[in-house]
Amino acid sequence: MKPQLPLLEVNDLKVSYGGIHALKGIDLHIAPGELVALIGSNGAGKTTTLKALAGLLHCTAGKMHYDGSPLHHVPSHQRVSAGLALVPEGRGIFARLSVAENLQMGAYTRSDDGQISADLERMYALFPRLAERRAQLAGTLSGGEQQMVAIARALMSHPQLLMLDEPSMGLAPMMVAKIFETIREVSAQGVSILLVEQNAKLALEAAQRGYVLESGAITLSGEASELLGSDAVQRAYLGA
Ligand SMILES: Nc1ncnc2c1ncn2[C@@H]1O[C@H](COP(=O)(O)OP(=O)(O)OP(=O)(O)O)[C@@H](O)[C@H]1O
Ligand SMILES: [Mg+2]
C-alpha cells in the first residue's frame, strides 16, 4: 500500500507579532479525512496557527504544504477556493445579513449557482434550526445558532479541510453537544478537520489525533486517546 500523503503539512512555522514570538516553529500534519485536535491554554497560539494556515497573517519562517503544493504565497481567498475553510474564533458572522445571506456569502468563491441552492438545502438539513430561521438577521440568533451559521457558511465553500476555532466557546452544554455532533457528522462525510479547543476533553474525544500547544510550541502529540489518558494532559487541561 502506498503511504497516504498528508493533506496539510506544516514545518517549523514561526509567527511574530512585533517582538512577540507567538509561534516558535511548529510542525503538524493532517491526513485526508482525519479529525485532529489542537489544544492549549489561553495565549498558547492556537488562533495564530489557524490564521497563519488561512493566510490571514504573515509567517516569519517555515513551510506549509496543502495537497502537495506550497501554501506560503497563496492569498487567503485562493486558499478558500483550494478547499481550506476557517470558522473563526468569535464566529465572524454578518450580523445585519439574514441566515440565508450569510450562507450564500460562504459560496463566494464558487460559480456553480445551481449547486449553491442545493447546498443551501443540505445545510438546512444538517442544521434544522437554521432552516426555520433562514430569513432572520444573524445578529439576533442565539450564540449556538450563530455558531451553526458560521460552520454552515464555511461548509458552503466545499472545504476539504475545515478549521474550527473554539466552536464550544460560550455555549451551554446542550448546544455544545449539538455542535460536536455536527462536527462528527461532517468528519464522517470525509472532510478533514482541524479542531482548536480549550475544552481538551471534548476535542480529544472527538478527534483521532491531537497536538498540545504551549507558549507557541508543540509540546505533545499523538493518538487522541493516548493524549486523553496521559498524565501531562490530565494535569494541565483536565483538572486531574
Ligand atoms: N494581533 C496581535 N498583536 C500582538 N500580539 C498578539 C496578536 N494576536 C495574538 N497575539 C499574542 O500572541 C499569543 C497567541 O495568541 P493566540 O490568539 O494565538 O492564542 P490562543 O491560543 O488562540 O488563545 P485563546 O485560547 O485565548 O484564544 C498571545 O500571547 C497573544 O497575546
Ligand atoms: Mg484563540
Residue environment code for 177-215, b if the CB has 16+ CB neighbours within 10 A, otherwise e: ebbbebbeebbeeebbbbbbbbbbebbbebbbbbbbbbe
Residue 208 pLDDT: 98
Q: Burial level of 239, CB count in 10 A (0-12/13-18/19+)? A: exposed
Cell of 37: 485536535
Strands 8-17 and 61-66: antiparallel
Superfamily of domain 1-83+159-240: P-loop containing nucleotide triphosphate hydrolases (3.40.50.300)
| Protein residue closest via CA to atom 9 of ligand 1 | 48
CB of residue 46 inside a 6 A radius of ligand 1: yes
CB of residue 79 inside a 6 A radius of ligand 1: no
Scanning the structure block, which residue is given the C-alpha cell 516558535? Answer: 24
Q: DSSP letters of 199-236?
A: -HHHHHHH-SEEEEEETTEEEEEEEHHHHHH-HHHHHH
State the ligand closest to the CA atom of 214.
1
Cβ(176)–Cβ(143) under 8 Å?
no
Mean pLDDT across the chain: 94
Q: How many CB atoms lie within 10 A of CB 176?
A: 18
Domain residue spans of the chain: 1-83+159-240, 93-158
Cell of 6: 498528508
CB of residue 45 inside a 6 A radius of ligand 1: yes
Say how far apart CA 116 and CA 153 lie, in whole Å: 12
Q: What is the pLDDT of residues 160-217, one digit of tens each?
A: 999 999 999 989 999 999 999 999 999 999 999 999 998 999 999 999 999 999 999 9
Distance 211 CA to ligand 2 centre (A): 15
State the ligand closest to the CA atom of 41.
1
- Determine which of 89-93, 100-104, 151-155 has the lowest per-residue pLDDT on average: 89-93
Residue 12 confidence (pLDDT) above 70: yes
Cell of 21: 514570538
Say how far apart CA 114 and CA 159 lie, in whole Å: 18
